Each structure stands twice: as C-alpha cells, then as structure tokens.
Amino acid sequence: MSSDSQEIRRSILTKWHETLSKYANLYSSDSVSGTSPPSVFVGSYSYPKVFVGPMVPPVHGDTSLLDAPEKWKGKSLEEIVNFRLNLVRGIQKIPIEQTDGKYIENLQEFSMSSKPTDSELSFSKVISSNVSLDGESAPFGPIGELTSAKFSSTSAVKPIEKVFYDKDLKAQDAIVNLYNSGIDISKIQKCFSIGMMGQKRKLVPTRWSITATDDIISKSLQESVLGYSLIDSCRVFFYSHLGNYFSVILFPHRWVYEMIEAWYSNGVLGFGSDFEDARGIDHSPAIAGAYFAAKLGVLEYLEKNHLQAGVVILREIRPEYAIPVGVWQVREGIREAMNQSPIIVDSFEAALDVASGKLSISKNEWLSHGNISRLLKQTTMSDFF
C-alpha cells in the first residue's frame, strides 16, 4: 500500500483521537443517548446468526447527513469517515429467519421513520472507543452488545409502510416500487436488510443487501432500456471524487456492459473486470458490488433519456482512496459522471482514446484486462433483434 495512503489514514486517525480526547465521556460509556439518522446495520459474521442493531451518534438534532450517501457529494474522505466513526453501533445476535419479536419489530419501525429518531441504547459493558483504519475494511465507530434499545415514535415513510404490511408482495417488486416512489436507495437497502420486504422474509447482511438492491433496480431499468432506440453517437463522460476516477463510454450498440477497475497495491498495478450482454450476467462479478452500483448509475441515464447503448466503464482507484467507504461512492460517482456534459466523438476507438486519456493508465492496458473488444467481435445480427 502506498505511503500516501498510510499517511492519509494516519492523519484521519490522529484527528479522530483528538475528538475522542475532547468528548471521551460520550464514546466510552455503557449507554448512549442521541438522534439516529435513522440507521441500522446487519453484519455477516457468524451467518446465519448475525449481529443486528441500530447506529446512534451521541448527539441530538438533525443527524440525517451521517448516513445519507446520496447527500455526500463534495464531502472529503475525512468527513465521510468521520460520519461513520461517530455512529455508535449496538448489536444483538439474531438468527436471519427471526424477523419478528420486540427487538426486530422496533428496529423495523425505526428504519421506516421519515426523520432522525431520538434513541437510547444501553450496553452490557462500557463500549470501547478504539477504532482502526486500514485499506481493506470500511470504517466503523464504537460497538457494544445491547441490553436495551429505546426509540421515540415518529411518522413512517408511507410507501415503505405500505410494502412492509403487504406480505404478498415479492421483495424484488417491493424494492422497485420504492425506487419508483422516489425513496433513496440507501433507505431501501436498510429496510430490505432488516427483513421488511417479501413473502418469505429474513434478515440480510447490510453488505449483501446493498448489492442486491442495486442489482434488482438495475434489472428493472434494463428491461425498459432494451426497448429503446440505439444512441446515435459515441459519448464519453468523466467524473472523479475520493480518489476514484471514472470514464464512461456510451456507443451505438444493443445493451452490452463492461466495467474494468484498476488499483495500486504496493506499487503494483492490479486489474479486475466483468461484462455482460443483453442476457445479463449469470455469476457473481469479479469486481463484486461495484459492478452493479455502476451499472445502475448508467442505466438511470439511459432510461431517463429513452436510449439504449453499449457501455464501458473504466474506474481508476488511486492511492488517495486510502480507506474504502462503500460501493455507494461508485453509484454516486457514476450518477455524477452522467450529469456532466459528454464529449462526443465519431467512433468507439476514438471514445476509448478520450476515456483512457482522462486517466493515468494507457488504452492498451485497459483493453488487455477487459473483454469488450472480443465481445464486440463476436456480435451477430441476432444481437440486434
């Protein structure tokens, strides 16, 4: 890992310790009182019995920004990491099939709240404020085993309340309905995670629910996009944030999609990629949740503009992305890319030149680690009907 990355992590951790020295009593106690965004987390460790609970900062007021990735445009890596570190996580170990009972039902009601919720958590012992930051895991604040959790009553988001009480509605349909109702994806995935949707409900680890939500919404958008006319030009979009640089190429072709990632580790350049045609992908992508997060962002653009296109996304992860903060930043990065004015060129080859020219890695290197050229050569007339 780059010394730059290490220095960034060291700086953020030092400032966090300075915060703790000022407010140690808030983070080292056997109880926490504060206003939750609201936020819940379902772990994957020890699956199918998982650690489940609310996340509450030790402050009162409008804390919605602490767990609202859709509103983090322009925020620095340090600011976003601090949002996560400020949330104290309470946990209880619950079987994934247990989506009823007072504790889970309170968390479900809490999750559908329309505004930040005053909360009181009590722990079995004093929580530890020790946190670590590395280049592999998303940051988390203090954590403790709950003995009790109390939440003030608030009004529910009506579309969420409706799908929660509809036990005949499939989870996929519930997710798409909420998305079409304008509910933020981060809110939808929390409700899905805490077992609020579907006919056979269960708790879903947060990391898995994020990817599943992106995938389900993407499939719905793709169904519409496959019925639209092909784009009439090659367009290149670009955006960068948090040390992530995205180049997006749209070109005249029936839906085909590839994402290629490149990153630096100990001075060595690594690559990962995966792709699909109009039939979709039939395996877990080599680049995991980022594949679906990026796919959703570009499909939103195509659906909004009633277009169909072939898509190539190049993502360069530079050392300044020293602490991973979640695939939400891929989704929001692509959304922002698609909001920019595109560079229009007259060929796919020229589009590759422009897209790679925005990055520090050559076109040939990108192509050698992807499949799009081979996929296009295999195209037959049947792909267009």
Q: Would you write out the chain's pLDDT as a tens digit for each of its 385 residues? A: 455 898 999 999 999 888 887 887 778 889 999 999 999 999 999 999 999 999 999 999 999 999 999 999 999 999 999 999 999 999 999 999 999 999 999 999 999 999 999 999 999 999 977 787 877 778 888 999 999 999 998 899 999 999 999 999 999 999 999 999 999 999 999 999 999 999 999 999 999 999 999 999 999 999 999 999 999 999 999 999 999 999 999 999 999 999 999 998 888 999 999 999 999 999 999 999 999 999 999 999 999 999 999 999 999 999 999 999 999 999 999 999 999 999 999 999 999 999 999 999 999 999 999 987 776 776 543 444 3
246 and 369 belong to one structural domain = yes
Query: Cβ(254)–Cβ(365) under 8 Å?
Result: no
**pLDDT confidence of residue 378:** 63
Query: Does residue 18 sit within a domain?
Result: yes
Query: Cβ(274)–Cβ(287) under 8 Å?
Result: yes
**pLDDT confidence of residue 379:** 53
232 and 380 belong to one structural domain = yes
Report d(CA 60, CA 206) in Å as an integer.
25
**pLDDT confidence of residue 1:** 46
Query: Does residue 289 sit within a domain?
Result: yes
The domain total for the chain is: 2
11 and 143 belong to one structural domain = yes
**pLDDT confidence of residue 265:** 83
Query: Does residue 330 sit within a domain?
Result: yes
**pLDDT confidence of residue 381:** 39
| Residue with token string 């280049």 | 135
- Domain span at residue 294 reads 225-384
Domain limit, last residue, from 122, 154, 186: 154
235 and 146 belong to one structural domain = no
Domain limit, last residue, from 113, 138, 154: 154
Query: Cβ(249)–Cβ(345) under 8 Å?
Result: no
Query: Does residue 199 sit within a domain?
Result: no
235 and 348 belong to one structural domain = yes
Query: Does residue 260 sit within a domain?
Result: yes
Report d(CA 107, CA 203) in Å as an integer.
12
Helix axes 185-193, 102-111, angle to 10 degrees: 170
Q: Give the tens place of pLDDT for each residue, 129-149.
A: 778 787 777 888 899 999 999
Report d(CA 317, CA 33) in Å as an integer.
38
Query: Does residue 91 sit within a domain?
Result: yes
146 and 233 belong to one structural domain = no
214: its two tokens: 């992106």
pTM of the model: 0.94
**pLDDT confidence of residue 4:** 84
234 and 349 belong to one structural domain = yes
231 and 380 belong to one structural domain = yes
Strands across the sheet with 40-42, in order? 31-36, 117-123, 143-151, 88-95, 49-56, 40-42
242 and 148 belong to one structural domain = no
Distance of CA 88 to the CA centre of its chain: 20
Query: Does residue 166 sit within a domain?
Result: no
Report d(CA 156, CA 111) in Å as an integer.
9
27 and 128 belong to one structural domain = yes
Query: Does residue 69 sit within a domain?
Result: yes
231 and 379 belong to one structural domain = yes
**pLDDT confidence of residue 207:** 95
DSSP 369: T
112 and 246 belong to one structural domain = no
Domain limit, last residue, from 154, 169, 188: 154
Query: Cβ(207)–Cβ(289) under 8 Å?
Result: yes
